[in-house]
């Protein structure tokens, strides 16, 4: 008779990569003043917000004095070419870190899953990443689009489903998943939109929030772990889910990155997003928590240990750092302590919002900042969609009380 417990799924390596440049609030002020009329209502409001985001520095693949200061804004063709060099290199570096930590050679990878919302070239950028990493030509590739800032957990969900399917066939799965976003090359288009806006209440603040980064992880099923004795798991993925936030269908039309055939990517954000997101997390957490606890109790490898029911305060929260209002709102509604969101705040303050890569970077950062056994990772994307994953940290005492 088959074991009724779910397949064992482990994150065995994580890697984050930021580009070398940091932008402060004054850098955006100077760029705007050089090319635009900063007395116009939309751009004036954007620059006011730029000084109050709570972000000290944002990571950038190039300083504004380089790529963004040519006479005309870069075209979509130039942005695409730039991404397929600088973005691919950034993703490769993150992947190499994840592979090294996982003690897995590129030739052992069975699947790749990539995501981005700042490039739509063909073949997909994941093809270029795989080629630079010298992955096997027969590797099973997948590339996600249209998931925005939720993308980091979208690829985790996809990886879990693929690995679980491989387990049912008694095959090893070693999945390399990665996210890469280059947001700052679109800053000129964001400023142009802001200059044209006559309604300060409708000002698009994307240029003050978004940054550049890549992140990667390796996820293995139990058959891969059995074969690879030297692999040390970092997290066990026990439960996950996705949902659409009710009443947000119209909101999402005005949200996230949209491709304009002539000028490139236009990042638009609705000011109502924080209000919806802060109320969407608890229902999903409460739906997933009993399933997570059941896995803790029924998995033989965990010894059936669960000393008491778990709650919100037993978890570290790897919350996507989408903006100060989002983080503050979630903390208020869930009554989270400062240390539960320490990694989220640190990434937001020092690097900004790198869209799909951010939540994975927070998860990576969290390993060095806390020792709670239980982790919630959650992020949001167009739809308005919410992604959530519940993980157990493997590198701590197996005291499942938290």
Q: In which residue are the tokens 């698009």 written?
A: 204
What is the C-alpha R_g of the chain?
21
Cα–Cα distance measured from residue 334 to residue 139, given in angstroms and rounded to the nearest whole number: 42
Which of 95, 117, 149, 220 does the annotation list as catalytic?
149
Take residue 160 and report the two structure tokens written for it. Answer: 């879990």
Determine how β-strand 264-268 pairs with β-strand 315-319. Answer: unpaired
Distance CA 211, CA 59 (A): 5
Whether the Cβ atoms of residue 97 and residue 221 lie closer than 8 Å to each other: no
- Give the pairing of strands 111-115 and 140-144: parallel
| Residue whose C-alpha is closest to residue 150's, from 319, 336, 329, 327 | 319
> How many other CB atoms sit within 10 Å of the CB of residue 24?
13
Nearest CA to 160 among 319, 318, 388, 7?
7
- 3-state DSSP of 266-335: EEECCCCHHHHHHHHHHHHHHHHHHHHHHHHHHCHHHCCCCCCCCCHHHEEEEECCCCHHHHHHHHHHHC
Would residue 149 show up in a list of annotated catalytic residues for this protein? yes
Token pair recorded at residue 221: 């099923």
Active site residues: 149
């Amino acid at each position: 008779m088959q074991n009724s417990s779910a397949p064992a799924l482990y994150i065995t390596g994580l890697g984050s990569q930021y580009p070398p440049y940091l932008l402060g609030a004054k850098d955006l002020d100077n760029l705007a003043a050089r090319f635009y009329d900063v007395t116009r209502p939309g751009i004036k409001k954007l620059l006011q917000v730029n000084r109050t985001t709570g972000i000290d520095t944002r990571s950038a693949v190039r300083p504004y004095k380089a790529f963004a200061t040519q006479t005309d804004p870069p075209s979509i063709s130039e942005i695409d070419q730039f991404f397929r060099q600088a973005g691919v290199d950034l993703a490769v570096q993150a992947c190499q870190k994840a592979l090294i930590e996982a003690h897995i050679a590129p030739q052992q990878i069975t699947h790749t899953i990539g995501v981005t919302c700042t490039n739509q070239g063909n073949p997909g950028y994941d093809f270029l990443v795989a080629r630079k990493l010298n992955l096997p030509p027969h590797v099973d590739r997948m590339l996600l689009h249209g998931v925005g800032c939720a993308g980091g957990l979208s690829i985790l969900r996809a990886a879990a489903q693929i690995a679980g399917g491989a387990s049912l066939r008694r095959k090893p799965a070693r999945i390399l998943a990665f996210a890469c976003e280059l947001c700052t090359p679109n800053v000129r288009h964001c400023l142009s939109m802001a200059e044209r806006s006559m309604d300060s209440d409708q000002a698009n603040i994307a240029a003050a929030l978004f940054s550049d980064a890549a992140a990667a992880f390796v996820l293995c099923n139990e058959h891969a772990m059995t074969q690879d004795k030297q692999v040390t798991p970092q997290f066990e993925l026990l439960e996950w889910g996705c949902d659409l936030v009710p009443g947000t269908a119209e909101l999402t039309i005005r949200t996230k990155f949209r491709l304009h055939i002539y000028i490139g990517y236009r990042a638009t954000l609705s000011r109502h997003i924080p209000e919806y997101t802060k109320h969407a997390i608890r229902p999903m957490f409460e739906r997933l928590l009993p399933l997570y606890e059941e896995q803790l109790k029924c998995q033989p490898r965990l010894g059936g240990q669960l000393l008491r029911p778990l709650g919100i305060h037993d978890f570290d929260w790897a919350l996507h750092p989408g903006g100060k209002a989002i983080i503050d709102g979630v903390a208020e509604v869930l009554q989270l302590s400062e240390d539960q969101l320490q990694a989220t705040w640190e990434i937001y303050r020092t690097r900004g919002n790198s869209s799909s890569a951010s939540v994975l970077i927070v998860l990576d950062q969290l390993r060095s900042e806390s020792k709670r056994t239980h982790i919630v990772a959650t992020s949001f994307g167009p739809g308005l969609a919410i992604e959530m994953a519940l993980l157990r940290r493997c590198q701590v005492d197996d005291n499942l009380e938290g």
